[in-house]
């Protein structure tokens, strides 16, 4: 559910792809299709009564395994990206519905903010206001590594009964940390857009469109979850 350290840049020589060259329209179509699969999966999971904590945990693990497989075998993205979208929809169903019941209206706000940030980042990137060079990628990966370490440390220490309520209680520290994480997720969006742009410019095979869409979906879902958590904190302060 959180965005793992997925390799953002690949080359056709490292994997087996086939077909014509990748296009922006092809990547956009696949990205939209995957987002719709996530939404449909979440709705079906909720309506059938399977939006439970157990479903969330099981599908989260399965989704993580899917990401790891594709990160090492990008050529499988076309096969596994739809599966990942289904798993994430099932995973997000319980989280989204629970928060929506507690704070009515928060779900649509989280969705709108997620796509708003994604569109804004896309416009900024397309106008050349942000240059995704080696330095940008290095700094983003350092920040991303810090976030991942924090996630892992919190999970591991939790098994020993050590918790950090200040990171989730809706206080100033928790909100500040959440804003930083959302900022890092937004930086990852720029890396996704660079991957898409480079793939088209360098004439990557059309099958690589699935990898680009898959990578973008991971970031979008991560961004959505963090925004949902931030809105939950802010709503709880009212």
> So what's the pLDDT on residue 223?
97
Classify 2 in phi/psi space as left (phi over 0), alpha (psi -120 to 50) or beta: beta
Q: What is the DSSP string of 58-98?
A: HHHHHHHHHHHHHHH-GGGHHHHHHHHHHHHHHHHHHHHHH
In the chain, which ranges are E strands? none
Question: Tens of pLDDT along 5-60?
Answer: 334 444 443 444 455 889 999 999 999 999 999 999 999 999 999 999 999 999 99
> So what's the pLDDT on residue 19?
57
> So what's the pLDDT on residue 237?
61
Which backbone phi and psi does 21 adopt, to 5 degrees?
-75, 150
How far does Cα 120 stand from its chain's mean position? Answer: 16
Nearest by Cα to 37 from 224, 214, 193, 207:
214
The low-confidence residues of the chain, meaning pLDDT below 70, are: 1-19, 237-238
Residues, the chain: 238
> So what's the pLDDT on residue 235?
87
End-to-end CA distance of the chain: 28
pTM value is: 0.88
Domain extent listing, the chain: 19-236
> So what's the pLDDT on residue 238?
58
């Amino acid at each position: 559910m959180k965005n793992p350290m997925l390799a953002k840049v690949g080359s056709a020589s490292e994997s087996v792809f086939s077909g014509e060259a990748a296009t922006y329209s092809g990547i956009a179509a696949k990205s939209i299709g995957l987002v719709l699969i996530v939404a449909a999966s979440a709705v079906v999971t909720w309506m059938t009564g399977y939006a439970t904590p157990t479903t969330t945990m099981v599908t989260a693990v399965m989704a993580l395994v899917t990401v790891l497989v594709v990160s090492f075998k990008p050529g499988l993205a076309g096969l596994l990206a739809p599966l990942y979208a289904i798993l994430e929809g099932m995973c997000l169903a319980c989280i989204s519905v629970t928060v929506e019941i507690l704070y009515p209206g928060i779900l649509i706000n989280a969705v709108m903010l997620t796509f708003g940030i994604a569109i804004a980042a896309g416009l900024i990137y397309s106008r050349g206001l942000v240059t995704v060079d080696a330095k940008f990628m290095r700094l983003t990966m350092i920040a991303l590594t810090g976030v991942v370490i924090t996630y892992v440390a919190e999970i591991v220490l939790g098994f020993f009964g050590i918790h950090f309520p200040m990171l989730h209680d809706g206080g100033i520290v928790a909100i500040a940390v959440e804003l930083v994480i959302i900022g890092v997720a937004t930086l990852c969006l720029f890396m996704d857009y660079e991957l898409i742009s480079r793939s088209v410019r360098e004439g990557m095979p059309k099958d690589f469109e699935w990898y680009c869409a898959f990578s973008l979906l991971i970031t979008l879902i991560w961004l959505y979850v963090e925004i949902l958590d931030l809105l939950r904190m802010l709503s709880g302060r009212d």
